[in-house]
Amino acid sequence: MKQVASFLAAVIVFAAVFLLVEQASPFFQSCVSQESGDAGQQAGKESYSSVGSIIAIYTRCSGRFIDGHGAGITAFFTIILAASTILLWIVTNKAANAAQVAAEHIPRIERAYMFGGPAVDGTTFDDPPNTVKIVIGIGNHGKTPGILVESYGEILSGPPSVSPTKYPFTGGKKWEQDIVYGASERLADTCHPFSGPKFETIYFIGYIKFRTIFDDKVHTSFWCVTPRVVDNVRNEWVMVDSTPGWNAWD
């Protein structure tokens, strides 16, 4: 299709320029004048259609013009064709780049964005004594479904001193899963709780890993939280930002 469009564009441009050059050519004008004079003499002897005679004159003179300037016309058409091909390539390349940018932008806008952390009313203290059990809540804040593939939780007595990229994630519990969360869906994952000792000061760190419907890339959402005392009960979790990288996602 590109070759056909380029060729048609070149033909149209060539035809327009050719007619302009031909009409301005002294050679062509002289030929038309001579042929018109001959046709006038012939008309005295025979009856001719004026339109038909004009077409015949212009056809013969155009043929003589082409015969006399064949090399130049061929070179000129080659230049027009090359210019049309280059112009078409530039336009097509711009359209392709725009389409690529749009294709890369759409997944970022439409993909799933999933986050995890302690669920509301999902924390149990001292059952059994001196322990804490935490159920996490997971929500998809994106516009399309996301697939939860892994969750991890660990209870600490102090905040982590390194970022998630350097943390070993070996002292807690990891769950491998394959659960689909629809757009805007939020659920408490009661089937996969996390338990640990009830420290004087508790820090709960972890992550969820998930995929989107657009590709197989695994995305990660981290958290680091601690319970806040409300009405003498530790039942509200707040984020801890003492170490960069936690409470972040990709």
Specify the pLDDT at position 66: 66
Mean pLDDT is lowest, of 129-133, 163-167, 231-235, for 231-235
Specify the pLDDT at position 135: 96
- Answer yes or no: is pLDDT of 210 > 70: yes
Specify the pLDDT at position 132: 92
Residue pLDDT, tens place only, 182-193: 999 999 999 999
Specify the pLDDT at position 45: 47
Specify the pLDDT at position 101: 74
Specify the pLDDT at position 16: 65
- Answer yes or no: is pLDDT of 74 > 90: no
Specify the pLDDT at position 82: 75
Residue pLDDT, tens place only, 137-181: 999 999 999 999 999 999 999 999 999 999 999 999 999 999 999
Specify the pLDDT at position 44: 46
At the top level of CATH, which class does the domain 114-239 belong to?
A: mainly beta
Specify the pLDDT at position 7: 56
Query: What CA–CA distance (Å, rounded) separates 219 from 212?
Result: 8
Q: Which two tokens stand for residue 159?
A: 């905040």
- Answer yes or no: is pLDDT of 201 > 60: yes
Specify the pLDDT at position 98: 74
User: pLDDT higher for 64 or 248?
Assistant: 248
Mean pLDDT is lowest, of 33-42, 115-124, 162-171, for 33-42
Confidence bin at 100 (pLDDT 50/70/90)? confident
Specify the pLDDT at position 188: 94
- Answer yes or no: is pLDDT of 195 > 70: yes
32 CB neighbour count, 10 Å cutoff = 18
- Answer yes or no: is pLDDT of 227 > 70: yes
Confidence bin at 47 (pLDDT 50/70/90)? very low
pTM here? 0.63
